[in-house]
Structure 1
Amino acid sequence: MSDYHHPVLLTESLDGLDVKPEGVYVDVTFGGGGHSRALLDRLGPEGRLYGFDQDADAARNMIDDDRFQLVQANFKHINRFLKFHGVQQVDGVLGDFGVSSHQFDTPDRGFSTRFDGELDMRMDATQGQSAADVVNEYSEAELIRVFRDYGELRQAPKLARMLLKARTQKPISTTLELRELLEGSIPKHKVNKELAQLFQALRIEVNDEVGVLKTFLQQLPQLVKVGGRISLISYHSLEDRLVKRFVRDGKFEGEAEKDFYGNQLVPFKKVGGLIVPNQDEINQNNRARSAKLRIAERTTW
């Protein structure tokens, strides 16, 4: 498990859940199972934990514990699969939305700029379009949207035009081909950062990460019991803004609904402030450097 993924903000995220020994909890990003194992340590014999992960590789980290059930599905389907297992409501939900170390470090998954591999980037390798499909089939306008909205790249139009020109010669099928094609047009001191932003943008598009997160968050008011907690770790501003707005306003756009007296009608209230890793954790795991943890409690309407 330690080679698969290093759990980020482990103690802080579990403390935020205020775990009840007899409670029912969900880890919607099981991955290497680090958060799940630590959460099980806080549960008593009557407690129950469900782990979600759509990546088939995560099943290798199965936990042999009668209190644990792994659901091999995207967490956007959380309500449907929990109901299948007889669960209507839970005491807490934990989410660590980053790409696992295993996914980054497996060249043929195509997540990292450091390796040459297939331009894939699918969390579930059996589903949907790959990054190669996006690069080779999207229109110029669609590529600009992806690079600008999900990678925050100022050079989005220029990069899109370069891809369109290159793919008329031959399809772009590997991470190395994509990197070599684009890095010459990026200032040397910005190459690594901007390529990482571009790869992030493709990954978000391929896996519909924004849509998945919205669908997931919208199910939480019905799923989490009053007094229950959510503990959510984000790694880029798009995710963090969605989580922050949902906790604050109960929606992603517009102002929160209010009652006759002007009181906000929101399903969650934040618990504490934004939590980020300390320098010791960043030194031990550099991928933790962009993590942001937000904790909230289910309220009465």
Structure 2
Amino acid sequence: MEKSAKIEEGSVRHRPVLLAEVMQHLSVRPGGVYVDGTFGAGGYSRAILEAGGTVLAIDRDPSAIAAGAALKAEFPDRLTLVEARFSELDALAEEAGLAPADGIVLDVGVSSMQLDEAGRGFSFRLDGPLDMRMSGDGPSAADVVNRAPSKELTRIIGSLGEERKAGRIARAIVSAREEAAIDTTGQLARIVETALGGRAPGHAIHPATRTFQALRIFVNRELEELAEALAAAERLLREGGRLVVVVFHSLEDRIVKRFLRERSEEQRGSRHQPMVEGPAPTFRLLTRGIKAGEAELESNPRARSARLRAGERTAASPRAIDRRLLGVPALAGISGPEAYQ
């Protein structure tokens, strides 16, 4: 199930996904230092604080940081809130005097609060401006939809939304914007639905789901940010520190899976080839992927597409990442959302 299924679930708010499993794999100890790279409504941060940990909480959404004031008041000496991108988490921890870290948790993607606010433009469930910006600045989804050439829209929707009919959707968008600007989530959802011939009988997922996913990922550079955040986590964690990542769709999961697999593998030889010298593993795998149990699924439908992956830091030196090998899609000829601002 795609992360986009989480997008259209409705308003299950303030309920962190896989909380028990996250806490188990973080192995929080009193006095330890932990980074919550995606603060959101503060569910993971609160659990870590209540277990005695000190938390650096990061979120690029200013409204999430503002909403965290009550939690900050409750734990004034052990919670530091920072409005920033989680790709910068190692530098932020150094600046706050909270390095190295004993654990890092990342809940990747859009939050329930963002989805439930029509004015943020993340979901077509509630009609609102076609925005999708997590930080509230820079080019919006409307900028991309109204200015990107058809071929570039096709690559964005096809690669980041894994939409097989991306070309048809892109052509429909270009045709529609010639008549009037596409400014709302409802407009775009109707254009995509019409282009794909409506919703298939018995099919629960809206035809526009993958298109909305693609635009959101593109506008916020989510996959590039994730890759850089994993590298930052590797630099920040002390030996024995834990990295726990919760993802909701295949593109995110592929990046995290490849990162942890590549970082935990030792170079080996065979009877036909000598041992190949290579870098020492920087992580030890703790799990190959955990999904929510039936009890959580009954109370929190958002959890149905979630998967948790975790690793424990070794003493080996951190190393550079290769986005291509991690599975970050390369959109040839497209520099980024800034091109359409």
Is the structural similarity TM-score above 0.5?
A: yes
Instruction: List per-residue Cα deviations over 1:189-229 (Å, max 9, x = no partner).
Output: 25834311111111000100011001111122220001110
Corresponding residue to 2:56 among 50, 54, 64: 50
Q: Is 1:241 aligned to 2:254, yes or no? A: yes
Equivalent pair of 2:199/2:206 in contact (CA under 8 Å): no
Q: Is 1:67 aligned to 2:82, yes or no? A: no
Q: Distance in 1 between matches of 2:206 and 2:250?
A: 15
Q: CA deviation at 1:266?
A: 2.5
Corresponding residue to 1:272 among 282, 287, 304: 287
Q: AA paired with 2:110? A: V
Distance 1:129 1:257, change over 3 A: farther
Corresponding residue to 1:144 among 136, 146, 154: 154
Structure 2 partner of 1:116: 127
Corresponding residue to 1:182 among 175, 192, 211: 192
Q: Distance in 2 between matches of 1:53 and 1:220?
A: 15
Q: How large is the Cα RMSD of the aligned pairs?
A: 2.0
Matched residue SS, 2:179: coil
Higher mean alpha-carbon deviation, 81-90 vs 69-78, is at 81-90
Matched residue SS, 1:165: helix
TM-score norm. by structure 1 comes to 0.91
Corresponding residue to 1:216 among 229, 232, 236: 229
Distance 1:250 1:179, change over 3 A: same
Q: Is 1:225 aligned to 2:238, yes or no? A: yes
Q: CA deviation at 1:14?
A: 0.9
Distance 1:135 1:200, change over 3 A: same
Q: CA deviation at 1:4?
A: 4.4
Matched residue SS, 2:281: coil
Q: Is 1:203 aligned to 2:216, yes or no? A: yes
Equivalent pair of 1:98/1:234 in contact (CA under 8 Å): yes
Q: AA paired with 2:293? A: N
Instruction: List per-residue Cα deviations over 1:238-269 (Å, max 9, x = no partner).
Output: 11110011111139xxxx68388447633112
Gap runs ≥5 in structure 2: 1-10, 269-273, 317-341
Higher mean alpha-carbon deviation, 183-192 vs 193-202, is at 183-192
Structure 1 partner of 2:95: 84
Q: Distance in 2 between matches of 1:19 and 1:87?
A: 15
Equivalent pair of 2:109/2:222 in contact (CA under 8 Å): no
Q: Is 1:98 aligned to 2:109, yes or no? A: yes
Matched residue SS, 2:288: coil
Corresponding residue to 2:38 among 29, 32, 41: 29
Q: AA paired with 1:31? A: G
Aligned pair count? Answer: 292
Using CA pairs under 8 Å that are at least 6 residues apart, name the structure with larger relative contact order, 1 or 2. 2
Q: Is 1:282 aligned to 2:297, yes or no? A: yes
Q: Is 1:299 aligned to 2:314, yes or no? A: yes
Structure 2 partner of 1:11: 20
* Sequence identity (%): 42
Q: Distance in 2 between matches of 1:214 and 1:273?
A: 18
Q: Distance in 1 between matches of 2:266 and 2:24?
A: 30
Distance 1:238 1:114, change over 3 A: same
Gap runs ≥5 in structure 1: none
Structure 2 partner of 1:128: 138
Q: AA paired with 2:51? A: R
Higher mean alpha-carbon deviation, 265-274 vs 89-98, is at 265-274
Q: Distance in 2 between matches of 1:99 and 1:283?
A: 21
Q: Distance in 1 between matches of 2:166 and 2:302?
A: 25
Corresponding residue to 1:160 among 157, 170, 193: 170
Matched residue SS, 2:287: coil
Q: CA deviation at 1:30?
A: 0.6
Equivalent pair of 2:34/2:102 in contact (CA under 8 Å): yes
Matched residue SS, 1:289: helix
